[in-house]
Amino acid sequence: MADRTAAGADAPAAGRPGDEANDADATNGHVAQRTVWTETTAAELRSRFDAARAAHQRDRFPTFNVRDDRLRRLDEMIASHGIELAEALVEDYGNRSLLQTIAAEPITASGQVRHTRKHLKKWMRQRRKFAGSSFHAIGGSAVLQPQPLGVVGIISPWNFPVALTMAPLASALAAGNRALCKVSELTPNTASVLGSITSEWFEADEVSMILGGPEVAKEFTKLPFNHLFFTGSTAVGRQVMLAAAQNLTPVTLELGGKSPFIVAVDGNVVAAAKTLISGKIFNAGQYCVAPDRVFVANSRSEEFLDACRAEVAARSEQIDTTSIINEHHYERVINLRDDAIARGAEEIVLTSDARDGSEDDAAAPPRTIAPVALVGVDESMAISSEEVFGPLFTLERFDHIDEVISDINNGPEPLAAYYFGARNEAFEKFVTQTAAGGVVVNDIMIHVGLENLPFGGVGQSGMGAYHGRAGFDTFSHLKPIVKVHSPLTPRTTTPPKPELVEKLMRRTLHHRSGKKKN
């Protein structure tokens, strides 16, 4: 357990891993006593929330030093236990690339924390705000004061449970808040490690990991948090928003969707195919910004599919490196494919050896699926509306960019959109006439890792954003503070010459109405 003496104090707490006295423990690969997965009870959840709220009441504006110390501990915690966390996640998946897991989880999470820590002092400053020339002319001034919100709740999914918990947590702590994090029940080993290490490195009223499934999650969302930050599916996001509404708790929803991938007639077809296949192999396509619907210019589609086949052949060994998380999700992906085929879609297998759980691929690791293209998909098929979250993709051919635009605009707003092609009129039309959380040209998913760019969805793919300063602002109230030398209100409500002021105001309104001055 962490030493509680320094909770909320303006000094680093003594006796925790990462403090100088304990640096022997804080080495990379340090293994915490992992507690076994135990669901947090409703009573415990409430008491942790109350403790965090009481701590916030005692110190509503943590100093830079306190926040910096929290971020330092967060970074050191992630680095010290990074390998352990990645290994736990590999265990949760049964089969997942350790290298990709280390890169996408502790390394990415630590990058976000470090970026936040580096810029914290600047972000915490009051921001001067221009409030109108006549106001400044009389000597008034205005600033925006970033104010901590209080106790925030963070709910994360199973695909990247470390980064998707730690990155919003870094923003929340930087903004001076305390946090409770509900991590996914589908990755219990990772959640258990997160639970153990967090209680070692943080006071329970600073940061607390809550373990449990949907029932615990529902209780979690009933708490009167000052902000709820949810990453997960659109369906559950809706329930989170409903629950939060009872307390008027503001929400950030980081959801999913069907991200389009466009290969224009002037696009580099080979580069596009290599990128798409890499994106479908990476974590077996189980990530929110994975390309889901592929649109290819009609005249380039055969060339594109050949390039996809060549890329799958070149990367055949990597297909086996990550499994679908569990049997339920495996069945879900296979059913999406089978439903589409049963309703008339054509399956284009991109590899010579099928890896879909059939008897032929008994030698392959469990729940691995090779990338598959489905052509001829229509609205009757589940895959036309459900997020794939796996290695399948649908392929649609087009002659004019307008067809792609109207197709995308007829569905829910995607989280990301990818475009391979020249930056010409068609591209400008695509970018300006469709909505998406973010757009990447000639690549996929790299925008998520750019620490200084806001990341978030729009419409059905989410609301609000984080990463970098956007995250700090999400977890702050930007409170306007207006200063004047002597009060203006008495002078404006009882002016010395009311008739003159009235005349002036009448003239101003008349002028603004567009009529000629009289």
Q: Report the interface residues with ligand NAD, using CB under 6 A.
A: 155-159, 164, 182, 184-185, 213-214, 217-218, 221, 231-233, 236, 239-240, 254-256, 288, 387, 389, 415, 457, 462
Helix and strand element counts for the chain (H, E): 18, 16
| Pairing status of strand 346-349 against strand 178-183 | unpaired
> Which CB, 159 or 196, lies closer to ligand NAD?
159
Task: Report CA-CA distances (Å) from 508 to 78, 337, 512.
Answer: 61, 66, 6
Least CB distance to ligand NAD at residue 107 (A): 17
Least CB distance to ligand NAD at residue 23 (A): 34
Least CB distance to ligand NAD at residue 314 (A): 28
Reported as type and span, the H/E element at residue 346 is strand 346-349
- Within 343-444, residue ranges assigned H as helices are 401-409, 425-433
Least CB distance to ligand NAD at residue 229 (A): 10
Q: Which residue is nearest to ligand NAD (CB)?
A: 256
> Which CB, 203 or 254, lies closer to ligand NAD?
254
Q: Is 288 a catalytic residue?
A: yes
Residue 455 DSSP symbol:
B
Q: Which of 310, 172, 155 is nearest to 236 (CA)?
A: 155
Distance CA 213, CA 233 (A): 14
> Are the beta carbons of 75 and 173 closer than 8 angstroms?
no
Least CB distance to ligand NAD at residue 190 (A): 12
How remote is the C-alpha of 12 from its chain's centroid?
29
> Which CB, 236 or 312, lies closer to ligand NAD?
236
> Are the beta carbons of 165 and 183 closer than 8 angstroms?
yes
User: What residues contact 448, with CB distance under 8 A and at least 6 apart?
Assistant: 289, 455
How remote is the C-alpha of 181 from its chain's centroid?
14
Least CB distance to ligand NAD at residue 467 (A): 10
Distance CA 157, CA 271 (A): 31
Q: Which of 84, 87, 254, 413 is catalytic?
A: 254
Burial of 147 (0-12, 13-18, 19+ CB in 10 A): middle
> Which CB, 251 or 296, lies closer to ligand NAD?
251
Amino acid identity at 62: P
Q: Cα-flanking dihedrals φ and ψ of residue 401, to 5°?
A: -60, -25
User: What residues contact 356, with CB distance under 8 A and at least 6 apart?
Assistant: 334, 337, 369, 370, 372
Q: Which of 352, 233, 371, 353 is nearest to 294 (CA)?
A: 371
User: What residues contact 269, with CB distance under 8 A and at least 6 apart?
Assistant: 263, 300, 303, 304, 307, 420
Residue 286 DSSP symbol:
-
Residue 313 DSSP symbol:
H
Q: Which of 84, 87, 219, 288 is catalytic?
A: 288
> Which CB, 174 or 290, lies closer to ligand NAD?
290
> Which CB, 223 or 404, lies closer to ligand NAD?
223
Tell me how crowded residue 150 is: count the other CB atoms within 10 A of its CB: 19
Which residues make beta-bridge pairs with 261?
Answer: 294, 418
> Which CB, 183 or 204, lies closer to ligand NAD?
183
Least CB distance to ligand NAD at residue 166 (A): 13
Least CB distance to ligand NAD at residue 8 (A): 28
Residue 344 DSSP symbol:
T
> Which CB, 217 or 401, lies closer to ligand NAD?
217
Least CB distance to ligand NAD at residue 268 (A): 27
> Which CB, 7 or 445, lies closer to ligand NAD?
445
User: What residues contact 508, with CB distance under 8 A and at least 6 apart?
Assistant: none
DSSP, collapsed to helix, strand or coil, labels residue 16 as coil
Annotated catalytic sites, by residue? 254, 288
